[in-house]
Amino acid sequence: MTERRPHHAVYVISVFAELAGVHPQTLRNYERTGLLNPQRTSGGSRRFSDADLAALRRIQDLTNEGVNLEGVKRIMKLEGELTDARHALTASRDEARSNVAATHRQYRRDLVPVQNTIELFIDAQRRRRGGAS
């Protein structure tokens, strides 16, 4: 059996409405207002996914708390932007850590042990003085 992806649209509107406990007209209204965006078949039929079901559950939570549909739309847009920003921050943080680690690896290659440095310094001083010890 193949694993279903969250954005794989499989539910027709009647099944999706029954799963969600709403009238199909409510789903059409949510689509019209931009809250849901089901995929369409070549014949124009709506197909909903598990991701659409999660979005609908969020819409229901917010409307049950008294938020109107325009407010729901704005909240969900901001939540999406926040999720995107968190992903970007994580990627930037990972890249920064990688760059710091690469810089430290470079330092380890370029640095000369202290004992050798002191010896080189003393040898250079002796050469300047004309070889006197």
- Examine the domain organization and report whether 60 and 76 are in the same domain: no
- Examine the domain organization and report whether 56 and 90 are in the same domain: no
Give the residue, 89 or 7, on which the prediction is more confident: 89
Other Cβ atoms less than 10 A from the Cβ of 2: the count is 5
pLDDT digits (tens, 9 = 90+) for 7-32: 787 899 999 999 999 999 999 999 99
Asked whether the predicted pLDDT for residue 6 surpasses 60, the reply is yes
- Examine the domain organization and report whether 10 and 58 are in the same domain: yes
pLDDT digits (tens, 9 = 90+) for 50-60: 999 999 999 99
The pLDDT of 76-104, averaged and rounded, is: 95
Question: How many independent structural domains does the chain possess?
Answer: 2
- Examine the domain organization and report whether 16 and 47 are in the same domain: yes
Among candidate residues 35, 66, 97, the one where a domain is terminated: 66
Asked whether the predicted pLDDT for residue 110 surpasses 70, the reply is no
Q: Which domain holds residue 39?
A: 1-66
Q: Of 22-26, 65-69, 100-104, give the lowest mean pLDDT range.
A: 100-104
On whether the CB atoms of residues 47 and 9 are closer than 8 A, the answer is yes
**Cα separation, 27 vs 36, whole angstroms:** 8
pLDDT band at 106 (very low <50, low <70, confident <90, very high): confident
- Examine the domain organization and report whether 82 and 112 are in the same domain: yes
pLDDT band at 125 (very low <50, low <70, confident <90, very high): confident
Looking up residue 5, the CATH number of its domain turns out to be 1.10.1660.10
Compute and round to an integer the Cα radius of gyration of the chain.
31
In this prediction, what percent of the chain has a pLDDT beyond 90?
A: 67
Question: pTM (2 decimals)?
Answer: 0.66
